[in-house]
Amino acid sequence: MAQTDSIEIYTVSFLCYDEHYLLLQRSPDKTFAPMRWTGLGGHVESDEFSCLRSAALREVREEAGIDPKDILNFSLRRALLTNRPGSSLGVIFYFTGVLQQRILPTCPEGKLFWISPDQFDSLDIIETTRPVLTCLVEDMHNDPQGYKPVVTGLGFFNLQGSFTGVVWGIP
């Protein structure tokens, strides 16, 4: 059983090109969320707490081989605090960025695809990511440079550990 008075911190990045988003379908051999969809990301290491952007860009490079200099307007948009029963507290930091060309890199974590927002509903997106993804698309549309403050939210789970929703604060 996980230590419930600890914290795990993650970054998840969604990259855009021509109104399509680079999403990862996780490998079937993954312990957490096999075959489910998400962005590029992973754990923030303890020495990265002072620069979450660097942690997110490290994950993008590790998972997709994308050089940070090829990403425009890379911005922290949203932060989600989760408290799944029996688990550590979790904080997920969501970043977005724009690529100047459409590439389809390989990924050691699964397969990458360019997905349009009208396809999101047909995908088995990880439950904490699903309500954030459409918000991120809107955030990028309304604030392309990422100047607005980070929006924070709380992700809720019931006592059985099933996700029940997100409440976003006002930025």
pLDDT in tens, 4-23: 688 999 999 999 999 999 99
Task: Quote the domain boundaries for residue 160.
Answer: 7-166
In a domain, 43, yes or no: yes
| Amino acid, single-letter form, for residue 87 | S
Of 89, 85, 109, residue with least CA distance to 13 = 109
Domain annotation covers residue 87: yes
Give tens-digit pLDDT for 75-120.
Answer: 999 999 998 888 888 999 999 999 999 988 888 989 999 999 999 9
For 37-87, the pLDDT digits (tens) are 999 999 999 999 999 999 999 999 999 999 999 999 999 999 999 988 888
Q: Judge whether 1 lies within some domain.
A: no
Number of domains in the chain: 1
